[in-house]
Amino acid sequence: MPKDFSGQDLRGKSFAGKNLTGANFRNADVRGVTFKSATLEKADFRGAKFGIIEKSYLSFVWPVLWPVMLLFMVIVGYGFVTINLRVSHGHILLLTVVICFALFGLAYLRDNELKSRFVGGIGTFPFVVNSPLVAFTLNKTIFWKANLKGTNFSGTTLSDTFFTEACIENTNFQNTKDLGISSEYPENLPIRFKLLQGTILEQEKVKQLLVDGKGEEQDFSGLNLTGAYLVNLDLSGVNFLGAILTKRVVSRNLRWYFAKRRI
């Protein structure tokens, strides 16, 4: 039986790798939730809140803390810091490592946001290697590599929500707002920060079609619309010459259009 999370406060939780086929998330608060590699086929997110959760102190401190910790260990290890104790530099280094991990462990236990990300498959992206990226993704809704076949997001606001490399076959994005928009960073982000990377939504024309449904007199020739949810759209005068339209879903009133053109 599909799980019912409707109306629940799920902020900061992790559903990474979970099978949530057909789950009901209507009107739930999923800000800061990670659905990394989760199966969400035919899930319902209508009315849900997406995007940024209130940042914890660690979201600000961690990008600065870990380089300082490493630098301090190097300094101690090479003997640039001296103390009046009869211990070797190796012992000092070991003690420093233990203290650093103890501090991180304390933060881990006290910070639910960090806990959900760390347990959810080493965060949402490589966790320690690229600290600015960790700071950018730590507090947002993540559908990285999730299976979203037939999932319904219609009418929701999707700012600061990652769909990176997600399977969005037959996914309903109609009448959504701020899809692929970050409230914290400008449009010219490095490629690794792209919210829609690895999906057909990277194509601005395709994204607009799936959001507002207005395809009248538009030219989509040569574009990739694999798995596009083309239900109740205005496609009068549209040009799909050379476009990839496999696995598409269309409403009955549009089937004649594709049949006539043998698309």
Q: What is the pLDDT of residues 130-161, one digit of tens each?
A: 344 444 556 789 999 999 999 999 999 999 99
Mean pLDDT check: name the lowest of 17-26, 51-60, 69-78, 84-93.
84-93
* Residue 1 domain-assigned (yes or no): no
What is the tally of structural domains in the chain?
A: 1
- What is the reported pLDDT for 182? 82
* Residue 245 domain-assigned (yes or no): yes
* Residue 24 domain-assigned (yes or no): no
The pTM score is 0.70
* Residue 242 domain-assigned (yes or no): yes
* Residue 231 domain-assigned (yes or no): yes
Q: Where are the alpha helices (DSSP H) in the chain?
A: 57-77, 89-110, 112-119, 131-137, 204-212, 252-260
Banded model confidence at residue 170, pLDDT cuts 50, 70, 90: very high
* 8 A C-beta contact, residue 185 and residue 136: yes
- What is the reported pLDDT for 246? 85
Burial code of 200-222, b = ≥16 C-beta within 10 A, e = fewer?
A: bbebeebbebbbebebeebebee
* pLDDT over 90, % of the chain: 42
Domain residue limits at 255? 203-263
Q: How far apart are the C-alpha atoms of 51 and 145, rounded to whole Å?
A: 17
- What is the reported pLDDT for 193? 55
Question: Cα 22 from chain centroid?
Answer: 19
Give CA separation, 71 vs 74, 80, 124, in Å: 5, 11, 26
- In this prediction, residues 80-102 reach a mean pLDDT of 58
- If we measure between CA atoms, which residue out of 6, 18, 244 comes closest to residue 147? 18
Tens-place pLDDT, residues 184-221: 665 555 544 578 989 999 999 999 999 998 888 889 99
Banded model confidence at residue 97, pLDDT cuts 50, 70, 90: low
Find the angle CA(221)-CA(226)-CA(227) to the nearest 5 degrees. Answer: 135
- What is the reported pLDDT for 145? 93
* Residue 7 domain-assigned (yes or no): no
- What is the reported pLDDT for 129? 34
* Residue 157 domain-assigned (yes or no): no
**Which residues, other chains included, contact 79 with Cβ-Cβ below 8 Å and sequence gap of 6+?**
89
- What is the reported pLDDT for 37? 93
Q: How far apart are the C-alpha atoms of 207 and 145, rounded to whole Å?
A: 18
- What is the reported pLDDT for 131? 40
* 8 A C-beta contact, residue 181 and residue 194: no
* Residue 114 domain-assigned (yes or no): no
